[in-house]
Amino acid sequence: MIFKYLRAFCAGVVLCLILNPVWAQPHRTLTVNDFLGAPRPNGRGVIAYTNCTIDFKYQATRNDGYYQLRFNVRMFMNNYKSWIDRSRITSADQLAEILKHEQGHYTIAYLEQQEVLRAVERTRFTANYNAEAMGIFNRIDAKYKQLNQDYDEDTQHMVNRQQQHSWDIYFAKRLQFMPQENASL
């Protein structure tokens, strides 16, 4: 009897995974506890570093002359590669500014993940799906790598407070008007 319920439960879980092929974690606010890595010596004046990875996987099935791809696109903050040089922090206000700047880098990675999810969900793939999927990912990844560079250059790694404020507003607007997570497109 228990085996029968367990099998029904497992079938339900598998069905949910099939019907919901992509997953996105919610955007969150970083804390000092997210930075567990060792600071880099002689980091060219950089007091903190945020390292995120976009994990991009898919499975393909043929369907009426085209290929349906089920994606799993996840974004991770690599806590042990991300660091804050706490020895150079002199006040709680300075720490808050540093965390706000690093939040921007995390938000850029999150926005990239969300754009990849939206792009692949609305794409119809051919037999060349490997190249097509990687092309989408590489195009979007290059866009967000440039955005990360622009962010650090414009804010001078948070030193330019006026530019930092402009970027903070930009991120807030992008997050506010982002399509709902896991929404079908």
Assess whether pLDDT exceeds 80 at residue 71: yes
Tell me how far apart the alpha carbons of residues 56 and 71 are, in angstroms, rounded to a whole number: 7
* pLDDT level of residue 43 (50, 70, 90 thresholds): low
pLDDT attached to residue 41: 78
pLDDT of 82 reads 97
Pairing mode of beta strands 83-84, 66-77 = unpaired
Helices (H), the chain: 2-19, 92-121, 129-155, 161-176
User: Under 8 Å CB-to-CB from 21, ≥6 apart: which residues?
Assistant: 70, 71, 72
pLDDT tens for 128-180 read 999 999 999 999 999 999 999 999 999 999 999 999 999 999 999 999 998 76
pLDDT, one tens digit per residue, over 74-116 is 999 999 999 999 999 999 999 999 999 999 999 999 999 999 9
Question: What number of residues does the chain have?
Answer: 185
Greater confidence (11 vs 43) lies with: 43
- Let me know the angle formed at the C-alpha of 145 by 139 and 146, rounded to the nearest 5 degrees: 95
Residue type, 28: R
Give the Cα separation of 164 and 154 in Å (integer): 8
Cβ atoms of 117 and 24 within 8 Å: the answer is yes
Residue 14, pLDDT above cutoff 70? no
Average pLDDT over residues 120-128: 93
Q: How many CB atoms lie within 10 A of CB 109?
A: 19
| pTM, two decimal places | 0.83
Asked if the model's pLDDT at residue 18 lies above 50, the reply is no
**1 compared with 171, residue with greater pLDDT:** 171
Which pLDDT belongs to residue 181?
52
Confidence band, pLDDT 50/70/90 cuts, at residue 17: very low
Distance of alpha carbon 3 from the chain centroid: 39
Compute the distance between CA of residue 164 and CA of residue 104 in angstroms, rounded to an integer: 9
Q: Can you give the pLDDT at residue 44?
A: 74
Task: Give residue limits of the domains in the chain.
Answer: 22-176
